[in-house]
Each structure stands twice: as C-alpha cells, then as structure tokens.
Amino acid sequence: MRLVVFVSLASASVISGCSRTEHGPLLAGGREVSSWVVELNDPRPQVRRQAVLKLGNVGDDDPAVAKGLTSALDDSDVLVRRDAVHAVVKLKQPSDAIVSRLQEMSRADPDATVRDFAKRALAKPGLME
C-alpha cells in the first residue's frame, strides 16, 4: 500500500512538472542552439559540420537556424555544404534565399555530390511552393 501511495505521489509530481509554462532555451545536442549557430563561423571545418548536423535537427523552431544554414550552403568545405543541403531539406518553410542557393548549387557547385544533393532537395515536395 505504501508503495502505491509513493508511486502515485511521484507520478503526480512528475506530471505537474511537465505542465509548466516556462521553457528554457532551445537545445540541440545538449547545448543551446545559439552556441551551434556561433560555431558555424569556426575556422575548423569539422566544428562547422557538427554545428550544421545539430542545427539540422532543430528545424524551424529558431529563425537563426535557417539563417545560419543558409550561410553554411556557401561554406568552403564540401562536407559542410553536403550536410547543409541535408539540413535545409528538414525545414518546413525554407526561405527564398535557400531555394535560390540550392538552384545555384544544383547547377554550379564544384562537387558533383553536392550538385546531386541540391537537385534532390529541390525535388522534395513542397520545397518550391
């Protein structure tokens, strides 16, 4: 009987904690999204790539993400650009700048794989609407 009461009280306190109205900062990979946006400017490509991967999982929840991913589409590192294409496809409403950049990438990116990824991204239903 004591166990049932304890479990009931524990459940009630957990449930009441889930209904709070305050939310902390948006997180990705256990860190604030803003820290990943800053890392898009890191001189090390592997750091920029990790930031792109984390931000790609955030989606449209933070406007800074789309802006940062748009800049990542112009990155000097091919792997960052490849991952940036995959990341922007996850956005529900990519900006005109993203669509325009994907069109340019599909025609003129120096890397054939990036061109292919951009073409596939543009073929995604709803992207060009």
pLDDT for position 129 = 58
Secondary structure, 3-state, the chain: CHHHHHHHHHHHHHHHHHCCCCCCCCEECCEEHHHHHHHCCCCCHHHHHHHHHHHHCCHHHCHHHHHHHHHHCCCCCHHHHHHHHHHHHCCCCCCHHHHHHHHHHHHHCCCHHHHHHHHHHHCCCCCCC
- Range from 8-12, 22-26, 73-77 carrying the lowest mean pLDDT: 8-12
Residue 6's pLDDT band (cuts 50, 70, 90)? very low
pLDDT for position 28 = 85
Q: What is the domain partition of the chain in residue ranges? A: 27-122
Q: Residue 121 pLDDT more than 50?
A: yes
pLDDT for position 4 = 44
Give the model confidence (pLDDT) of 70-112 as tens digits.
999 999 999 999 999 999 999 998 999 999 999 999 999 999 9
Instruction: Indicate the class that CATH gives domain 27-122.
Output: mainly alpha
How far is the C-alpha of 93 from the C-alpha of 99, rounded, in Å?
Answer: 10
pLDDT for position 128 = 64
Here the tokens at position 94 are 């990519």
